[in-house]
């Protein structure tokens, strides 16, 4: 009898909680705007090769992958690393929360005096999607909202739909968003072409995207090997696949966006923009461009007006705005973080630009200062003829006239005092860039 009463109370409580959830779900529906962000656009030539790309207006590279584009092994890899019980919980894993709370509580007592408190999280993939859809500062209140949003996601969407959202919204370092985007810029491959080692590398980035990004030196290879071992133990990959994945070499690198036929591409992109496409229509917009049609028209492959990459190679000047913006953002981030390796990745080794940046960062470090808030705005970037000396010094060099300015920044001294650095007015310089990947070799004063 007591057992029946207890069971009835539990049932009534669950019914009340579910009814309350339905009411709150109706009053505070999910904000799905983050699922309709503007995508970056791709233009193919009539042979099906990528001719050009255009970054989204918020300066994020973003290509969304459809459900059938995501390989099953990529799904398995991400689940093994992020949320082993993804298909079994209802958005929140109570066991993980309890384990994380116990561990973090213990750490507060055992390592607080050492100033080395390590914390572990308990966020499921669904909770991460909820956080990416509603980015906010971390607090107990926002964590409760995140959990409620996770319940909503589980109520309204299937597990595979939630996993698709995760792969499209997850950050992969710098201004790369979404696993399809990361596969292109880090490996220059489609998702179906990725090796097991590359899948594992992409699976571990979102845990700490700025630290684990693949264009910087880090311990990500150790994380990859750990995940590969887990996949072998779980029977996801065979012993031979495991051995090949461990032996596959990896070096930090990020490919530049292609910039063939820049004038044609700019005309195509601008003509489509003038048609006032909404974020929802943007998918069709991208598909039309991907079909390689005439600028401003919706046509299929084989259109004679579409140039080939071979023909585009003959163009002497180019609109290098996306390349310059990427390099500028990477340089600002490296200086703000005092990251010498990341800073070096923006310049040609041994070049005047590299030596100047090395000297600048060394002077900052020697002074004991840190930079905060350094932000360069690129107003325009236009191809100009390469000088004879630069052409002889740097194979494949491209010269770009850049108009840029800098917002006010702050220098923080070792004692914590802060000194404001005034804004830098708009000025023009000429950058000598070397491709594969694009890096700065020289910075010259514009005439």
> What is 56-247's CATH topology?
Penicillin binding protein transpeptidase fold (1.10.3810)
Gap between the Cα atoms of 379 and 427, Å rounded: 10
Which range, of 29-33, 81-85, 318-322, 414-418, averages the lowest pLDDT?
A: 318-322
> How far from chain centre, in Å, is Cα 8?
49
| Domain layout of the chain by residue ranges | 2-30, 56-247, 262-312, 321-445
Distances (CA, A) of 160 to 42, 75, 165, 200: 26, 9, 9, 19
Question: Taking all residues of the chain, what is their mean pLDDT, rounded to a whole number?
Answer: 81
Gap between the Cα atoms of 359 and 57, Å rounded: 34
pLDDT of 145: 86
pLDDT at 175 over 70: yes
Confidence label for 120 from pLDDT (cuts 50, 70 and 90): low
403 upstream amide cis, omega within 30 of 0: no
Q: If you average pLDDT over residues 302-320, what whole number do you get?
A: 49
User: Of the ranges 71-80, 91-100, 246-255, 361-370, which is most confident?
Assistant: 71-80
pLDDT at 309 over 60: no
Q: If you average pLDDT over residues 327-333, what whole number do you get?
A: 90
Q: Count CB atoms within 10 A of the CB of residue 190.
A: 13
Confidence label for 261 from pLDDT (cuts 50, 70 and 90): confident
pLDDT of 260: 77
pLDDT at 295 over 50: no
Cβ burial of 213 (10 Å; 0-12, 13-18, 19+) is buried
Give the residue with greater pLDDT, 360 vs 436: 360
pLDDT of 318: 45
Q: Answer for the pair 71, 199: CB distance below 8 angstroms, yes or no.
A: yes
Place of tokens 């958005």: 91
Confidence label for 282 from pLDDT (cuts 50, 70 and 90): very low
pLDDT of 287: 42
Kindly state the percentage of the chain with pLDDT values over 90: 25
pLDDT of 292: 39
Using alpha carbons only, give the angle 321, 325, 326 rounded to the nearest 5 degrees.
120
Confidence label for 272 from pLDDT (cuts 50, 70 and 90): low
Measured torsion, CA atoms of residues 391, 404, 334, 358, in degrees rounded to the nearest 10: 50
Measured torsion, CA atoms of residues 111, 114, 116, 117, in degrees rounded to the nearest 10: 30
- Contacts of residue 323, defined as CB under 8 A and 6 or more positions apart, other chains included, come to 256, 257, 259, 381, 400, 433, 438
pLDDT of 106: 67
pLDDT of 322: 86
Residues 341-400 have pLDDT tens digits of: 889 999 998 889 999 998 888 888 888 888 888 889 998 888 888 877 877 788 778 888
Domain spanning 321-445: which CATH class is it, in words?
A: alpha beta
pLDDT of 171: 93
Confidence label for 101 from pLDDT (cuts 50, 70 and 90): low
pLDDT of 229: 92
pLDDT at 280 over 60: no
Give the residue with greater pLDDT, 365 vs 153: 153
Q: Answer for the pair 46, 301: CB distance below 8 angstroms, yes or no.
A: yes
pLDDT of 417: 86
pLDDT at 298 over 50: no
Distances (CA, A) of 336 to 177, 374, 422: 21, 6, 16
pLDDT of 274: 57
Which range, of 201-205, 256-260, 271-275, averages the lowest pLDDT?
A: 271-275
Gap between the Cα atoms of 425 and 97, Å rounded: 50
Confidence label for 103 from pLDDT (cuts 50, 70 and 90): low
Gap between the Cα atoms of 197 and 251, Å rounded: 12
Q: Count CB atoms within 10 A of the CB of residue 68.
A: 7
pTM, rounded to two decimals: 0.63
Q: If you average pLDDT over residues 184-210, what whole number do you get?
A: 92
SS (H, E, C) 361-417: HHHHHHCCCEEECCCEEEEEEEEECCCHHHHHHCCCCEEEEEEEEECCEEEECCCCC
pLDDT of 169: 92
Largest CA distance in the chain: 95
pLDDT at 142 over 90: no
pLDDT of 59: 86
Give the residue with greater pLDDT, 98 vs 317: 98
């Amino acid at each position: 009898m007591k057992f029946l009463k207890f069971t009835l109370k539990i049932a009534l409580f669950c019914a009340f909680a579910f009814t309350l959830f339905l009411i709150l779900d109706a009053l505070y529906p999910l904000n799905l705007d983050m699922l309709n962000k503007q995508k970056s656009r791709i233009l193919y030539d009539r042979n099906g090769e990528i001719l050009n790309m255009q970054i989204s207006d918020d300066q994020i590279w973003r290509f969304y992958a459809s459900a059938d584009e995501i390989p099953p092994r990529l799904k398995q890899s991400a689940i093994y690393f992020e949320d082993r019980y993804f298909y079994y919980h209802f958005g929140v894993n109570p066991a993980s929360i309890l384990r994380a709370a116990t561990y973090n509580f213990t750490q507060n007592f055992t390592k607080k005096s050492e100033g080395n408190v390590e914390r572990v999280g308990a966020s499921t993939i669904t909770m991460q999607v909820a956080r990416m859809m509603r980015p906010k500062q971390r607090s107990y209140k926002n964590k409760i909202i995140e959990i409620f949003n996770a319940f909503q996601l589980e109520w309204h969407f299937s597990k595979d739909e939630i996993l698709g959202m995760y792969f499209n919204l997850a950050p992969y370092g710098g201004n790369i968003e979404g696993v399809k985007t990361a596969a292109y810029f880090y490996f220059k491959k489609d998702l179906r072409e990725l090796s097991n080692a590359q899948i594992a590398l992409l699976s571990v980035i979102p845990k700490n995207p700025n630290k684990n990004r693949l264009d910087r030196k880090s311990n990500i290879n150790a994380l990859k090997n750990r995940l590969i071992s887990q996949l072998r133990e779980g029977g996801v990959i065979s012993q031979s696949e495991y051995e090949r994945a461990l032996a596959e070499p990896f070096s930090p690198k990020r490919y530049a966006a292609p910039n063939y036929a820049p004038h044609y591409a700019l005309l195509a992109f601008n003509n489509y923009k003038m048609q006032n496409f909404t974020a929802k229509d943007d998918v069709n917009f991208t598909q039309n461009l991907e079909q390689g049609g005439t600028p401003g028209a919706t046509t299929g492959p084989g259109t004679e007006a579409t140039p080939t990459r071979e023909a585009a190679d003959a163009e002497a000047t180019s609109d290098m705005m996306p390349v310059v913006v990427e390099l500028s953002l990477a340089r600002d981030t490296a200086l703000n973080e005092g990251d010498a390796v990341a800073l070096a990745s923006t310049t040609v080794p041994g070049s005047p630009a590299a030596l100047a940046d090395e000297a600048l960062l060394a002077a900052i470090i020697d002074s004991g200062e840190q930079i905060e808030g350094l932000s360069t705005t690129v107003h325009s970037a236009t191809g100009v003829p390469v000088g004879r000396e630069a052409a002889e010094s740097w194979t494949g060099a491209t010269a770009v006239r850049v108009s840029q300015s800098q917002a006010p920044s702050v220098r923080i001294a070792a004692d914590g005092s802060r000194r404001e650095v005034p804004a830098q007015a708009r000025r023009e310089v000429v950058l000598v860039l070397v491709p594969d990947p694009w890096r700065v070799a020289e910075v010259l004063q514009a005439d």
